[in-house]
Structure 1
Amino acid sequence: MKYLIDANIFLEAQLEQNKSEVCRDFPTEVRDGNIEGALNTFHADTIAIMMENKGFQDKISGFMLSLYMYEGLDVFTLELSGKAEAMMADNGLGFDDGVAVQTMKELEIEKIVSYDDDFDGVKERITPEDVLKNAT
């Protein structure tokens, strides 16, 4: 099963936040090809902007380049028409979450790995802990 990986999973690890340990373990499994995931370029850019805003600009290029080494990760570019559909969707989500849902639709992905409960009721949300528990 392939999961869409929300930006907050990478941000937890990159910004060394509360759940940084599990948010380092989960991408490691994706990097090693044990878990399949997808990330769209919009959210990769969002991660870079947040890293810059939090004073981690020296880590941005390393993070972006590391995405190429993730054996189990597909990096997807959502076209403008897809972004427009995300904006027009009546799902009660903000633009960035709407882009995530649209990416899931285009890639036919059923679950998103996220801590953002805004996805509850729109798409099936699962946490990194849940995925890691089921992967073992």
Structure 2
Amino acid sequence: MYIVDTNVWLERFLEQEKAEEVRDFLNQMPSDQLCLTDFALHSIGIVLSRLGKREAFVRFVRDAFVDGVVSLVRLDFEDMEALVQIMARDNLDFADAYQYRAAEKYGLVIVSLEGDFDRTALGRKTPAQVLQER
């Protein structure tokens, strides 16, 4: 299973440079193989709200969780010490360390467009890499 980083979802919503790659990934991957952290969900909501795309957020929640079967994963209070250690060890910001800890805890592969995960033990795959490996 895959944990899909915030930047992947936003790439599609904001029609950025790799939006087509992300669209292919999301269209071809069974949604029951995808996970999203609660932190990422809230971050997406904040970004889309600030950009005046509130309806896009509602559609996203409906498509992913109501009509789809994307899993929502979260960290517990007990995970926060490990998260802070990950921040220090791998020089990740809080958001990336949250994703990393969730991937570590639940045995997930990180799918991200950011290279920050490349310097970690878990690494990451791009959406295109995941599709190539199928």
Structure 2 unaligned regions, length at least 5: none
Q: Which runs of 5+ in 1 are unaligned?
A: none
Paired residue type of 2:95:
D
In the superposition, the TM-score normalised over structure 1's length comes to 0.85
Residue of structure 1 in register with 2:41 after alignment = 44
- Secondary structure at the aligned position of 1:16 is classed as coil
Partner Cα separation in structure 2 for residue 86 and residue 3 of structure 1? 19
Partner of 1:66: 63
Count of aligned residue pairs for this structure pair? 130
* Superposition map of 1:3-14 within 5 A: 3-14=2-13
Contact 2:62/2:68 (<8 A) preserved: no
Q: Which has the higher helix share?
A: 2
3-state secondary structure, aligned to 1:124: coil
Q: For residues 75 and 50 of structure 1, what CA distance do their matches in structure 2 show?
A: 19
* Offset, 1:87: 2.4
Please, which of 101, 116, 129 is the counterpart of residue 114 of structure 2?
116
Are 1:31 and 1:70, in contact at CA under 8 Å, matched by a contact in 2?
Answer: no
TM-score normalised per structure 2: 0.86
CA positional deviation for 1:43 = 0.5
